[in-house]
Amino acid sequence: MSKLAIQVEDLSKKLGPNQALGGLSTAFEAGHLHGLIGPDGAGKTTLLRHLMGLLKGDKGKVIYLLDKKPVPFAQARPNLAYMPQSQSLYADLSIAEHLDFFRDLYDLDEAVYQERRKRLLHLTRLDRFTDRPAGKLSGGMYKKLGLMCALLASPQALLLDEPTNGVDPVSRREFWAMLAELLGTGILVLVATAYMDEAERCDKVHLIFNGKLLDSGEPRKLLLKHKVPRFDELFVRAEEKHQTTGAKA
C-alpha cells in the first residue's frame, strides 16, 4: 500500500475580518497518529479544509507526498478521507443501508466491499446493529458510522474534525482505540480536537493558537520542553501573552 504524507508551508488564510491562519508550517507523516490540538477558534477546521482542497490559501501551499514523491492534489485527492465535525448522515437509513450507499458512491467491487464491510463492522463493534437507523444511534455509535463510511474507500490519509466532540467518555476511549488499530496499515491519521487530554494519545501533536503553530512534536517531550504538566496550561500562557500583546498594541 502506498503511503501519503502532507506538508504545509507558510499557509495563510483570511476569512472575513479574521486571520484564520497566519503563516502556518508543519508536516504530517504517514503511519502516525497526529493530533491537531487547540481551543475553539484556533484554526483547526480551516487547516483541515485546506488539506482537503475545500479552501485555497491566500499565501503558502500544501504539498502532498505519495511514497515520498510530490504529487498534484488531483492525484492525492482519491487517497484522502475527511470526517467533518457535523456529519451529514441520513437519519432514516440504517447502518447497512449507509454502507451500501457508500459502496455505490465509491464504486467498489462487491468482493472488496464485503471484506471491508466485515472488517469495519468488527472494528467498530456495530455488527449487531446493522438494521438500526442512524437517527436512533447514540452519539458514539453515530460517530463510528461516520468513521466507517470514511474508511470504506480505504484511504491513505484520514482527516477527522473533532470526532469525539459531544461523545461520552467510554465512547471516546473506544474511538481512540479504533484509531490506534488503523495505524498498522500505514495510514496517516490526523485528528483535530479541543480536548487537551486527548493530545497524549497521539504520536505527534501540532499545537495551534490563533491560526499559528505554537509547537509540534511528541506529546511528552513538548510538556517537558515547555515545563507544564498539561497542554491546557500551555494554551493559558498563550492566551495571556496574546492579551498582553493586544493591550500594548
- Residue 71 CA to residue 108 CA, distance in Å, equals 24
Q: Mind listing the pLDDT tens digit for each residue in 43-83?
A: 999 999 999 999 999 999 999 999 999 999 999 999 999 99
Cβ neighbours for 228, distance < 8 A, ≥ 6 positions apart: 234, 237
Q: Mind listing the pLDDT tens digit for each residue in 186-209?
A: 899 999 999 998 999 999 999 999
- Residue 215 CA to residue 237 CA, distance in Å, equals 13
Residue 248 has pLDDT above 60, yes or no: no
Residue 113 has pLDDT above 70, yes or no: yes
Instruction: Note the pLDDT of residue 204.
Output: 97
Higher pLDDT, 140 or 111: 111
Instruction: Note the pLDDT of residue 5.
Output: 96
- Residue 190 CA to residue 186 CA, distance in Å, equals 13
Average pLDDT of span 22-41: 95
Name the residue among 219, 217, 234 with its Cα closest to residue 42: 234
Instruction: Note the pLDDT of residue 249.
Output: 46
What is the value of pTM for the model shown? 0.90
DSSP annotation string for the chain:
---EEEEEEEEEEEETTEEEEEEEEEEE-TTSEEEEE--TTSSHHHHHHHHTTSS--SEEEEEEEETTEEE-HHHHGGGEEEE-SS----TTSBHHHHHHHHHHHHT--HHHHHHHHHHHHHHHT-TT-TTSBGGGS-HHHHHHHHHHHHHTT--SEEEEESTTTT--HHHHHHHHHHHHHHGGGT-EEEEEES-GGGGGGSSEEEEEETTEEEEEE-HHHHHHHHT-SSHHHHHHHHHHHHHHHHHH-
Q: What is the dihedral of CA 209, 32, 158, 97, to 10 degrees?
A: -130
Average pLDDT of span 104-117: 94
Name the residue among 39, 42, 1 with its Cα closest to residue 157: 1
Q: Class for domain 4-86+157-248, per CATH?
A: alpha beta
